Amino acid sequence: MLQINNLHKTYKHALEPSLQGLSIQFSTGIIAGLLGPNGAGKTTTISIICGLVAPDNGDVVVLGDNVRSELDSIKRKVGVVPQSIALYPQLSVFENLQYVGKLYGLKGTELKDKIYHYLRIFGLDNNAKKAIKHFSGGMKRRANIIAALLHEPVLLILDEPTAGVDVQSRNMIMDFLKMYNGQGHSIIYTSHLLEEAQELCDEVAIIDNGKLVAHGNTEDLISSYHANNLEDLFLKITGTKVRD
């Protein structure tokens, strides 16, 4: 589903590179975790995968399409849930989703039905007309996910989708991701909540300082490092030093 080959990226005016020869391959149909400490390069990698940031060197092939030459095709097949809430606060969730849906060429009853379908799944249908600015953090996160789903992406990429949400919203998001994956869709997800990642991910890739430091089946990796769980494995691999 995803081939990342030797990615290098140094942002303009940055003193240090953000990615230093990152290579990862994820197969189709799995839930993959892209994990790493603060500043490891997860968001930069996601931004390159969806064409928002250009790499200095290296290649990314998403579902058979190269990001350098086939970005339009990738945009149709991939849904991205950004770390920050990408919705207009003054508009209702329905208006926001209608706007996003129209960008993907959806309209009329088909679009309305699809919006309500997802609003129901994410428990937001009773607040369809409420402005985003009046939503709780958990409601905003759930709405942010729906915005990436309306075009039914084959691959869903989520950057910390459960950051700052309560247990109920997190459960709802986790259940949805398992169901979406069960329907045959691939998922790539980043999180600092390693218990959650262990429950969700078939495979994890751990990156640090812009390089891959471990990758494999989650349970196999934990046992091969004689770790108690994913958090223990993560600390064994990335160390206990606090990152800036």
Ligand X SMILES: Nc1ncnc2c1ncn2[C@@H]1O[C@H](COP(=O)(O)OP(=O)(O)OP(=O)(O)O)[C@@H](O)[C@H]1O
Interface positions with ligand X (CB under 6 A): 11, 14, 18, 36, 38-44
Q: How far apart are CA 104 and CA 109, in angstroms?
A: 15
Nearest approach in angstroms of CB 93 to ligand X is 25
Which strands, in side-by-side order, build the sheet including 65-66?
A: 19-26, 2-9, 57-62, 65-66
Neighbours of 243 (CB within 10 A): 12
Q: Measured between alpha carbons, how far is residue 98 from residues 93, 101, 114, 176 in Å?
A: 8, 5, 10, 21
Nearest approach in angstroms of CB 107 to ligand X is 35
**Smaller CB distance to ligand X: residue 41 or 82?**
41
**Smaller CB distance to ligand X: residue 44 or 186?**
44
Beta carbons within 8 Å of 88's beta carbon, 6+ residues apart: 95, 96, 99, 132
Nearest approach in angstroms of CB 47 to ligand X is 7
**Smaller CB distance to ligand X: residue 11 or 88?**
11
Nearest approach in angstroms of CB 91 to ligand X is 27
**Smaller CB distance to ligand X: residue 10 or 98?**
10
